[in-house]
Amino acid sequence: MTDKNAQAEEFVLRLDGISKRFGALTANSGISLGLRRGEVIALLGENGAGKTTLMNILFGHYVADEGTVEVFGEPLPPGNPRAALAAGVGMVHQHFTLADNLSVIDNITLGTESLWSRGNGRAAARARIKALSRDFGLAVHPDARVGSLSVGERQRVEILKALYRDARILILDEPTAVLTPQETDALFDTLRRAIAAGLSIIFISHKLHEVIAIADRCIVLRHGKVVGEVDTHSTDRAKLASMMVGGEIALPEAEARAPGPALLRLNHVSTRAKGTATGLRQVTLDLCSGQIIGLAGVSGNGQAALADLVSGLVRPDQGSIEIGGRQPIVWSPREALRHRIARIPEDRHKTGTISDFNLTENAVLEGYSCPPFSRRGWMNWRAAESFAKDIIAKYDVRCQGPAQRIRLLSGGNMQKLILGRVLEPTPKIILANQPVRGLDVGAIAYVHSRLIAARDAGAAVLLISEDLDEIQSLSDVIHVMSEGRLSPGFARGSMTAAELGLWMAGQGFEGGEDAA
């Protein structure tokens, strides 16, 4: 046997010198790595470090500017997902690539048979899917409509898609971001079975404890480059974190404080479900001055309804709202603003900003109709611009100036502008919905420290997040939402992640279905 064959046996996958640029941004720069048979490697890095780009190149969604990919010793043609699939590469995307209106079986068999054939019938496909489900612990009904499945079930469908095609290499892009701790454990069980069956796995994450739990080897990316490679059995979270960030970052500490009076009370509030969004079921909640109230839960369990309710977009169908000690006559967004409720929206691109507006216009999106920004129906752009300049200086928004269009800003800088817009008028209640999603560690620390400062100044902060670590490190009181129900409040440090996970999965709630 020649040298080359020996190497091919060792590595099932090799990336060599991969570089990719998007305009001025270098997403990947000269990345090389190898994956052995039966091995799990973790790609660790912050948001924007280039992990997803790298995997999209491997899978053929993007074409690399430089570098080559070899699978089982054969070079993989660039930009061709079909070739990647045929070579045995299966990818579980972060944003699932499933068609909601089609059934599980349709989603799995899509593209597996020649388009010009009559097809082999569904019976055989169904039997195969059931066998795979059993072997790998991926329970899901083959005939269910994907749109009716939970997030965890959808992920199982994504994994089944790869297994159905006999994938030998499985790439999972941030697979645990949307799962409860228990679902994560089930996923890891599936992955261990896959390894036992001879598959190799690339696991992308920025959660350190998961990387240590599942991976054999960890490759750390920063700014598109490999900055380190470590054996996960001989490292710890602190070391990985400093490699990932490139230095120590002081994480803000929130010290417990005694809560002030309740600013907003919800008494047994129920709201109707809106389309696929869950409504609220008998939610009772106090938002007290000087407190961060953390709301944990898998997304889609009523957090959106609660956020809409607090910001005035939705009125309670049953129960009542009490604000400043009395019930508002008409509960509306205008009324909410009048009571100085500010919100950091969940999706800063879609609802938080208007991409084609400049920074000044975006800075006054909420206050534009009040003095000093407008008087007698006319905008006062000078006041608006000086407000924007204030925010830019105080919140360190890196930009060309207030006239720049906001779409050109990075996520972190966009969030800083929103933060300034929200916090500058010193609100009484702050609704922070996923305030750090997609931000890097530095920006996260900044946003968190600002929220803590606002709390210390007497505001009530309602923090909604899918990230349990974030909830646990910041919140004075933690509530869990599941199917529109709200758990009792748990004091800081009184619950472990696993205990919260059980609540997230719907255990512990009284009354069950009848509570509605």
Instruction: Write out the H or E segment, with its range, that includes residue 399.
Output: none
Quick check: 114 binds another protein (CB under 8 A)?
yes
- Torsion-angle region of residue 170: left (phi > 0), alpha (psi -120 to 50) or beta? beta
Structure tokens at 310: 């607090």
- The maximal CA–CA distance of the chain, rounded, in angstroms, is 86
State how beta strands 169-173 and 200-205 pair. Answer: parallel
d(CA 134, CA 120): 22
Residue type, 514: D
Quick check: 85 binds another protein (CB under 8 A)?
yes
Quick check: 100 binds another protein (CB under 8 A)?
yes
For another protein, give the closer residue by CB, 82 or 338.
82
Q: Binding pattern to another protein, positions 308-327, x when CB under 8 A?
A: --------------------
Residue in 31, 58, 84, 391 binding another protein, rule: CB under 8 A? 84
Q: At its nearest, how many Å lie between another protein and the CB of residue 446? A: 25
Length of the chain: 516
Stretch that binds another protein, among 59-67, 237-245, 361-369, 488-496 (CB under 8 A): 59-67
Closest CA to 345 of 297, 378, 313: 313
The answer to whether the beta carbons of residues 278 and 302 sit under 8 Å apart is: yes
Q: At its nearest, how many Å lie between another protein and the CB of residue 508? A: 36
What is the CB-side half-sphere exposure of residue 244 using CA atoms within 13 A? 26
CA distances to 36, 211, 214, 285, 488 from 233, rounded to whole Å, are: 17, 11, 10, 44, 39
For another protein, give the closer residue by CB, 62 or 136.
62
Stretch that binds another protein, among 108-116, 403-411, 489-497, 501-509 (CB under 8 A): 108-116
Angle at 35 between CA 31 and CA 41, to 5 degrees: 85
Judged by DSSP in three states, 69 sits in strand
Residue in 47, 107, 190, 353 binding another protein, rule: CB under 8 A? 107
Quick check: 117 binds another protein (CB under 8 A)?
yes
Residue in 1, 2, 3, 118 binding another protein, rule: CB under 8 A? 118
Quick check: 101 binds another protein (CB under 8 A)?
yes
The answer to whether the beta carbons of residues 420 and 391 sit under 8 Å apart is: yes
For another protein, give the closer residue by CB, 41 or 91.
91
For another protein, give the closer residue by CB, 168 or 281.
168
Residue in 75, 79, 401, 493 binding another protein, rule: CB under 8 A? 79
For another protein, give the closer residue by CB, 132 or 445.
132
d(CA 359, CA 309): 28
Quick check: 62 binds another protein (CB under 8 A)?
yes
Quick check: 7 binds another protein (CB under 8 A)?
no
Residues of this chain that interact with another protein (CB under 8 A) are 22, 59, 61-63, 79, 81-86, 91, 93, 95, 97-102, 106-107, 109-119, 161
